[in-house]
Amino acid sequence: MDSLFGISTSAIAIVCAALFVIALLSMGGIYISNRTMFRMGMRNIPRRGSQTLLVIVGLTLSTLIITAAFTTGDTVDHSISTQTYQLFGRSDLTVNYGGETTEGVFVSVGVQPYAPRALADTLAGHLANDPDVAGVLPYLVEEVSVLNTTTNLSEPSVVLNGFDPQALSALGGLTLSNGEPADVANLQDNQAFLSKRAADRLDATAGDQLTIYAGGREYSVEVAGVVENEFASGVHGFGDTLVLPGIAMTLDAAGAIGGHPGQVNLIALALGQDGRDGVPLAEDAAARINAWLASAEGRAAVAPYVNNAAVSVETAKFDAVQRAEEMSSVFTSFFLLVGLFSVAAGIMLIFMIFVMLAAERKPEMGMARAVGAQRGNLVQAFVAEGMAYSLLAGFLGVVLGVGAAIGLVVGLMRMAGGDAFSFVEAQVTPTSLVIGYTLGVVITFITVVISALRVSHLNIVAAIRGIDEEREREARRKVSWRWIALSIPAMLIPLLGIYWLLRRGFGLPKAWVWGPLGIVAGLLLLLLGSSSGLLAPFALGISILPLSVAALAAYYNAPRRLIWSAVGALLAAYWLMPEGLHNRLFGEFNKSMEMFVISGVMIVVAFTLLIVFNARALTSLFERRAESGARYRSTFILGGLTAAAVATGLALGDIGNGLGAIAYVFAGVLGIGTLVAAAAARSPRVAPAMKMAVAYPLANRFRTGMTIAMFSLIVFSISVFSIVQSNFDALFNGSDARGGVDIVATANRGSAVGDLRARLSAAGAPVAGAIAAQGSVTVFSAPQEVRQAGLEGEWNVYPVLAADSAFFTELQPQLDSRASGYASDADVLAAVAQQPGLAVIDLHPVDPAVFSVYDFTVDGVTITDNTFAPFQVEVRNPQSGATSTVTVVGVLASKLDSRLAGGIYTNAATYTPVFGAPRYERGFLRLTPEVDAAAVAKEIRTALVADGVQARSVQRMIDESNAESRVFSRIFQGFMSLGLLVGIAALGVIAFRSVTERRQQIGMLRAIGYQRGDIALTFLLESAFIALMGILSGIVGSVILSRNLVNADWVTEGGTVEFFVPWAELLAVVSIAFTVAMLMTWWPSRGASKTEIAEALRYE
């Protein structure tokens, strides 16, 4: 991968390496300037092996995520580009003289109208002296049917690729599947090379006899060998189920079989350099050749062969390689984007680890300060220790990151994606390893430095005695002119310079620095967002303002619970506000995917504030009263609220597109509270343990809040992605996704599909009776362009299809919406069948949430209650210049692949004046109820194999497309799930630390009657409380935000998605996360229960 966000990866690696060197130099500076503090920091590493291991594992995550993201980009780039080079072979440039461009997933191949072979000879003669062109490769491409008489397997649609043996042999020829070169020059007219794709489907090997059916005639050929899938062997794509298999023969043989002797319909140019070396020459060579073709001499040379059509050279191979690079960059960017949640959680874990390490070493740090060590010396010790951890964790993170990328991307793609992703190969580049290691270490180092600055502030007496410090309101310190002078050059880094000036120079308390700075920054961001129309700065400004005001209020001893709860509620209300309400209150803004990350962080902050300042109220659920009725009071109240929430969800249903689901989420939260209250009321052992489980974590709000935030952030990101992905999957797999069509049948190029029911009956196929309705359409086989009428915009390539009368009146495909003025869908279809100038259109142009390989969309069309105002579209034949305007009165419901069903459908009377007489090559079939469409499609292919009819089940194609989409979804979810390791590691750190710092408390509890099981249960419940709070806050926030996203125009691009929650998937995520977290804390909880009373009470 060469670039990311438009920046060269080499430049990124250099910058990261420079920052890494600075971090190393700072560590070296500490060693040189103060070896005592350096050794104090380093000696802690081997003291406790298990703790050191836990810290290192916790610090690996940032490096792991970054390395995995870049390795994924390398793998995608390498896999697609390698396949692209193999696919195109020496076909570097293609000649376009007015044919269609068949869009594929990764490549676009232009098949042109038939032209005399002399056109290729003319081009070869002119380019003979061009230093960048090695040769011209003329091809004749036809669609045929093939039967392997040896195995009796058939394939109704195979691309027959005729080539010039001498020209192809001179440029390297074909490669056999065993890696040996194929003997192309001596290929006979009764022989053929089969592509691997064709050989797999026909179970063919060298020497097998094949029968080729074309134009009603049969031809017998022998398999000369099985060759790699490439352009010259008839395979024009990869990684796509719609790519046809190929068979390669001589030009003379292909011309005789296809009925076009002496003609070609695809011409490729080979550049002077092979493989990757030829790509840089493509643009210059194409520009030079196109200049000649546009000149009078060039036009005169080629005009006799192309009916005066414009001729140009396209950089097909170069474009495909560029798409591979773009796709790898998109993958890396998206992985980094979703990985930011895990990186943020990892940073919080690093911060918390060093805060806890400092808490453990307080007496040691206090004594060091007492004997003369300065605060800066403690920072040096922690930085040295942290850098050592970072260097070790970086190596571990790189190894695990590479393993995670290969396991998730290569393993999961090949396992779940099948043949569609068989081309994926692992690739790791040194540049990505350098970026992953250095950037991960630098992020860890910066976090360690900030943590060290925080923990170095301590009260010497309190630290030596091991007691909590009494925090008094910070007073203003004396003015320091030295720091004022130093702050002036530091203004090059504005935030640092301002901080030094106000904090160090004028001695202002922290609240006086950060509070006003936050208010000013918030106001500036608000103004920036308002003026630029960008939501990100505007929303950040609204969020920073209350946080800054609350910090100032807390400084002046305002009620902490009140102000921080209010801030949490305000942030939650803003960030979970539906888009429509936000637009009404604040106006419309531009937004993009960065809002996903920002909103996730702010929602987690909001919920964490609400939890840590209000969770103590949960202890009221654990009261054990003497009276039986009073004992279960909390249970009855919560149970009633749970029932009310369920009833509300049932009543709302689909009202508000997801409000019922939100009610069910709150019912689940209340239901958990009901179960907890019932357990506490019934069991005498559980209630005290539960009260302790809530009380102790809340005694240290910072540590508990950080851990809850970690869990919440990861669960939130996984859940949002899962819900949104499931909703979009449902959009393409709903009951109307087939659009009333069960089978798509396509005839070979140039042949009419005809009356399939009659043809099957004539062939004696019983499946003829399974066809309930049928209709035929043309295929996108000539240049066609469209644009919305009245906008005078650019013309877009888009299929314009003629449909026969049966398509509209017998098949009657399902409509998603219809124009106002029509009583029913049948009326719309009948009108299009009979009246010139009317048309129906596929779903993508009016609902861009439905994917299409074409870019054409319409503006200003609003669909309300499945009706819309009719709109007009101009259609044009760019070859002849003929144009027409059609009025769109219906939108088809089908969500079938746009290459099969995308386009504007009209009648023959409207189509013919612009594009000529229609030839119906594709049929759509609706079957009788309870018939297996896949089985019928297979029988159609078998019965009409000699006629070259390729039949496919619509539902199976939709399922295959969704399966590929789910593969990517699972990869992203697995990638984000790595962040759960952070939350689990955090719980482990807290659990181990809690046992250590609470040994005396454990002894006292045992002395007053707590049993070993009570102690273990208390520690387990503490971890359960933290994990559960994080999980529940993540789920609640994710469901509400997901509903907002699914209903937001900027996500669906104006489309409509019916919201639902994949409960089973969410429950699986929650269950796994909670179970693993409990297992992580079981060991320290068990150790706490074994603490001896006397030993614990004597502990100092």
In the three-class reduction of DSSP (H, G, I as helix; E, B as strand; rest coil), residue 784 is classed as coil
Phi and psi of 1044, rounded to 5°? -65, -40
Region 470-474 average pLDDT: 63
DSSP string, 416-465: HHGGGGTT------HHHHHHHHHHHHHHHHHHHHHHHHHHT---HHHHHH
110: pLDDT strictly greater than 60: no
- Reference 971, options 325, 405, 515, 360; nearest CA is 405
Confidence band, pLDDT 50/70/90 cuts, at residue 106: very low
d(CA 835, CA 833): 6
DSSP string, 713-768: HHHHHHHHHHHHHHHHHHHHHSTTTTTT--EEEEPPTT-----HHHHHHHTT-GGG
- Reference 162, options 126, 135, 183, 187; nearest CA is 187
Q: Give pLDDT, residue 654.
A: 63
Q: Which residue has the tokens 């239901």?
A: 671
In the three-class reduction of DSSP (H, G, I as helix; E, B as strand; rest coil), residue 239 is classed as coil
Residue pair 756/949 in contact by the 8 Å Cβ criterion: yes
d(CA 871, CA 180): 58
d(CA 713, CA 847): 32
Q: Which two tokens stand for residue 808?
A: 């509209």
**pTM of structure:** 0.74
Which tens digits make up the pLDDT trace of 154-201? 888 888 999 999 999 988 888 898 889 999 999 999 999 999 989 988
The strand pairing partners of 777, in sequence order, are 803, 922
Residue pair 807/925 in contact by the 8 Å Cβ criterion: no
- Reference 27, options 38, 43, 14; nearest CA is 38
Q: Which two tokens stand for residue 367?
A: 């004594």
Which tens digits make up the pLDDT trace of 796-812? 888 999 999 999 999 98
Count how many Cα atoms sit within 13 Å of the Cα of residue 1060 in the half-sphere of its side chain. 14
For residue 260, with 0-12 CB atoms within 10 Å meaning exposed, 13-18 middle and 19 or more buried, which class applies?
Answer: middle
Q: Which two tokens stand for residue 12?
A: 């990124």
For the chain, give the mean pLDDT: 81
Q: Give pLDDT, residue 781.
A: 65
| Amino acid of residue 719 | S
Q: Give pLDDT, residue 100.
A: 46
For residue 981, with 0-12 CB atoms within 10 Å meaning exposed, 13-18 middle and 19 or more buried, which class applies?
Answer: buried
d(CA 1082, CA 988): 9
Which tens digits make up the pLDDT trace of 748-763? 766 778 888 888 888 8
For residue 554, with 0-12 CB atoms within 10 Å meaning exposed, 13-18 middle and 19 or more buried, which class applies?
Answer: middle
Domain ranges of the chain: 1-89+318-471, 93-314, 596-624+686-735+956-1100, 626-683, 736-955
Q: How far is CA 488 from the centre of its chain?
A: 45
- Reference 902, options 910, 894, 911, 914; nearest CA is 894
Q: How far is CA 811 from the centre of its chain?
A: 37
Q: What share of the chain is helix, strand, coil (3-state, %, to 5)?
A: 60, 15, 25
Residue pair 763/159 in contact by the 8 Å Cβ criterion: no
The strand pairing partners of 803, in sequence order, are 777
b or e along 1045-1057 (b: 16 or more beta carbons within 10 Å of the residue's beta carbon)?
bbbbebbbebbeb
Region 41-69 average pLDDT: 76
d(CA 793, CA 797): 13
Phi and psi of 5, rounded to 5°? 55, 30
* Integer CA distances (angstroms), 334 to 69, 241, 1044, 1064, in order: 8, 25, 21, 26
Residue pair 63/437 in contact by the 8 Å Cβ criterion: yes
The CA-based angle 668-673-678, given to 5 degrees, is 125
d(CA 211, CA 190): 11
Residue pair 945/213 in contact by the 8 Å Cβ criterion: yes
Count how many Cα atoms sit within 13 Å of the Cα of residue 962 in the half-sphere of its side chain. 19
Residue pair 28/449 in contact by the 8 Å Cβ criterion: no
Which tens digits make up the pLDDT trace of 880-937? 788 999 999 999 988 777 777 889 999 999 999 998 899 888 899 999 988 888 899 8
The strand pairing partners of 948, in sequence order, are none
Which tens digits make up the pLDDT trace of 135-151? 899 999 888 888 898 88
| Count of CB atoms situated within 10 Å of the CB of 186 | 10
Which tens digits make up the pLDDT trace of 66-78? 888 788 778 877 7
Q: Which residue has the tokens 């697995």?
A: 974
